[in-house]
Structure 1
Amino acid sequence: MSVTFNHTIIAAKDREESARFYRELFEVPQAPSWGVFTNVQLDGGVLLQFAEPPVEIQMQHYAFLVDDDLFDRAYARIQERDIDHWADPHGAEPGRINHNHGGRGVYFTDPAGHGLEMITTPYL
């Protein structure tokens, strides 16, 4: 059997708010949820499972590969919502996107403070 990525749990301050943020940004439908998880389903059946842990949330980094059309629409939403964003992971180029690896990319944070990256071309 080959290896594929199936799901990850993303710590959230408010799991409904975080799931809604990802659904709206990436234009994905609501997925069935259960127990302590509010789920978002990406292509290929990959689940993002949002939960509210009883501990302090540590920032994680999640990168999403999107096509050019979705990048345009999602980036427009980032700008419309005045979400801080950067062309680089260190935050030295605010309000910009990058053109690395022959595509476009942008860094920003989700409602729980996780670092997100949206790119149109994979690194490899």
Structure 2
Amino acid sequence: MPATFNHTIIAARDRAGSARFFAEILEASAAPSWGAFTNLQLDGGVLLQFADLPVEAYPEIQNQHYAFLVDDALFDRAYARLRERGIEHWADPQMRRPGETNTEHGGRGVYFRDPAGHYLELITRPYL
């Protein structure tokens, strides 16, 4: 069997709030949660598991980058939600083009941060 991506753990300060943010922006489905995790299910079976990091042990969360391939309709809805909520966003990962989207790679893209400070990217076409 070839390797496939199954799940990732996303560090948070408020795991339920972070999961809610991802669910609302990505229109992701809630999944059964257990133990220290609040879970979301993406298409294709990928599980996003949100876990709170204690401030005492981890005063700063190491920010990660998560990119999501979405269709044009979901991109439009998600981008509208970002604007409606006043969420700062950029057309580029260097954050030099605020309030814009990009049209690189034959599709559209946008960068923004989640409540824990992770860098999120929505794209409508894969890079490869």
Q: TM-score, normalised by structure 2?
A: 0.95
Q: Cα distance, 1:29 vs. partner? A: 1.8
- For structure 1, the residue ranges without an aligned partner over 5 or more in a row are none
Equivalent position to 1:73, from 58, 77, 90 = 77
TM-score, with normalisation over the residues of structure 1?
0.98
Match for residue 57 of structure 1?
Answer: 61
Shift of 1:121: 0.4
Alignment of 1:1-80 (within 5 A): 1-54=1-54, 55=58, 56-80=60-84
After TM superposition, give the deviation of residue 53 of structure 1 in Å.
1.6
Q: CA deviation at 1:44?
A: 1.0
Quote how far apart the aligned CAs of 1:36 are: 0.2
The letter of the residue matching 2:12 is A
Distance 2:112 2:64 in 1: 12
Matched letter for residue 119 of structure 1: I
Which runs of structure 1 show a deviation greater than 3 angstroms over 4 or more consecutive aligned residues? Answer: none
Q: Partner residue of 2:99?
A: 95
For residues 28 and 114 of structure 2, the distance between their equivalents in structure 1, rounded to whole angstroms, comes to: 16
What amino acid does structure 1 have at the position aligned with 2:82?
I
CA RMSD of aligned residues (A): 0.6
Which ranges in structure 2 are unaligned for 5 or more consecutive residues?
none
Q: 1:30 deviation in Å?
A: 1.2
- Of the three residues 106, 110, 119, the one matched with 1:106 is 110
Alpha-carbon distance between aligned partners in 2 of 1:61 and 1:28, rounded to the nearest angstrom = 18
Q: CA deviation at 1:66?
A: 0.2
